[in-house]
Structure 1
Amino acid sequence: MGHERNPTYDVLIVGGGAAGLSAALMLCRSLRSVLVVDAGAPRNGRSVGVHGFLSRDGMAPADLLAAGREEVRAHGGDITTGKAISASTGPGGFTVLLQDGRKMDSRRLLIASGFEDELPEVPGIEERWGRDVVHCPYCHGWEIRHQAIGVLATEPTAVQEALLLRQWSDNVTLFQHVMHTPTAEEREQLRARAVTIVEGEVQSLQIAEDALTGVVLASGKVVPCAALHVTPRPRTRSTLIQSLGLQDATPDGAPAQHLKVDEDGQTAASGVWAAGNVTDPSAQVATAAAAGIKAASAINADLVAEDISQAVAAAKQYGMSQ
């Protein structure tokens, strides 16, 4: 039995995180019909709390999203659980196919689906992710301040991350792991800031009483550590994005880490905008929400222009028929 076809929405938003819900609220307040399609797997879902968001600091991510969904629905927006897998264009806009077979039509499309974090393959990191294994000093630095902080070097930026974290603690250790050897200049900087360099590959994490207590090297040595900073790789393999021809490839053939957009969030595809982590992997909750609002304003302006054009054409047609 086929799914009943829904009416055409003004805007379909893929992703119900901070960017998607903020855009939905703004568009609903502009009297636009809006549908949010959310897969229900927020990137920050395992974090203890949202940080750096004025008046919401420490709020559980699930509670923030629940409040956002309630506000969107209170303003007439629709929200459905599902995964958008492709989009096709037509005279009226877009038809988005969901994994369960449903098809949704809209005049404009906003992609706010974020990305997945590809974590280093070290036992213990996945289990502690978002708790005492973190990725952003500005999101988690206050919570791990004055503790023994480790930095797992998997990317060339590790040295600068260790130097940055020195702002929150005078006990910072750079675990060289599989990273290139620090340059003479980098070693000088680390030494000047009393950041310890530990050579050797990291084998696993030491956990005791549901807390990180140390980093275990391949040699068997355990280095005490209460928090570990890692740099995940953004993974944005999306069949929806690919169906729209928007995802560029990196020199090694892998999908690009983010979508390219203009200052208002518009992509290279006509009628398609994007906001949040899918365009900016470093965006925090507050900046993702702001990007969603900005994109929503641009989308509404674009729809206003189309409404005017259609009204002028209809008036001319009416005049000709008289």
Structure 2
Amino acid sequence: MIDPSILKKQRTVLMVFSVLIILTAVIGLGMGYSSVSYSRIFPTIFGEGTFKEEFVLFSIRLPRIVMTMLAGMALAVSGSILQGITRNDLADPGIIGINSGAGAAVAIFFLFFPVEAGVFVYMLPAAAFFGALITAVFIYIFSYQKSVGLQPVRLVLVGVGFSMALSGVMVVLISSAEREKVAFIANWLAGSIWGTDWPYIMAVLPWLVVLIPFTLYKANRINLLALSDSVSVGVGLSIEKERLILLLAAVALAASAVSVTGAIAFIGLMAPHLAKSLVGPRNQVYLPVAILIGGWLLLLADTIGRNLAPPEGIPAGIMAALIGAPYFVYLLLRKV
């Protein structure tokens, strides 16, 4: 039974972050290299804008904003799952190497498996998932000891090692690639939101529509997995089976996000922590809050980044790292 006061607080926090997302999105719609007057945004949305205004909003700004929010939400849920099943507050798909695995797979797919543009859009999340899954399996194997089970600190260290190794693989791939393809991979590594067309959104959306409700459904299982193994077994939970299923969900969410946004780290770390600090550690309560916080954080990072140095801007991944790296150090020092 969840305390009614906590549920009331959750509703308030959800409302606050919903408003923040809307405000940030509206600000982002008007700002950019081709600015649109704020007084013209809503008339344009309702079909009363000029061709230029409609093109800027519907073909450039709006799909980028939607994609950024979806990616941030996916990374937040992925980070929440990883922190729960590993019992490690420092777990994040970007920090422990899962995003790097997805990136290496995306680069290999992009460089060596030329396909038609229409097919490429939908194959990209699948390729990213394959690479992230292989990476996650190896990280899990090297972090697991039969006598003590999964070791949280070792998981982070092994994940960081894999992340660095895969970054080296990406450098090797870049050195052997054509010039125009190098630019794509470099943008991906920097965390530049590049999949900003509606087809990319339609390719990623099904993954989120299925996996986010699935994670919310599994929220109580994640609560139990965050406890000791003896407690989880005592209530009849199949630990390894549930861990594996939820790990697959976390990997798929992270891969679907980074396949179109690039190497985004720290969103999956910060969003769950901020949500827990606001409404408490129960997954049923904080997961919906983390989803909105993740969407807002990445949207904010991208909105600030693309307007700091127009027309190219600063990649959202770099802005997220500028915010998240000090927070990671703070959490690390607190754990020590």
**TM-score where L is the length of structure 2:** 0.26
In terms of fraction of residues, the more strand-rich structure is 1
In terms of fraction of residues, the more helix-rich structure is 2
